[in-house]
Amino acid sequence: MKYIFDSSFLISLYLEDDINHDNAINIFLWLNEDDNFYINELILIELITVITYKKWFSKVKEIKSIINELNTIIINSWYLEYINYFEYLEKKISVADCSVIYDSIKYNCMILSYDKQLLKISK
Please state the domain extents for the chain: 2-116
Nearest to 99 by CA among 32, 20, 30, 46: 46
Q: What is the dihedral of CA 13, 117, 1, 45, to 10 degrees?
A: -60
Please state, in angstroms and rounded to a whole number, the distance separating the CA atoms of residues 82 and 16.
Answer: 31
**Positive or negative: CA dihedral 79, 83, 89, 94:** positive
pLDDT in tens, 14-53: 888 999 999 999 998 998 878 999 998 888 888 888 888 8
pLDDT in tens, 47-93: 888 888 877 666 777 778 778 777 888 888 677 788 888 888 888 88
Instruction: Report H helices in the chain.
Output: 7-14, 21-30, 41-55, 60-69, 79-89, 95-106, 116-122
Inter-residue contact 72 to 103 (CB < 8 Å): no
- What are the Cα distances from residue 77, in Å, to 72, 85, 99, 102? 15, 11, 8, 9
Enter the pTM of the model: 0.76
Superfamily per CATH, domain 2-116: 5'-nuclease (3.40.50.1010)
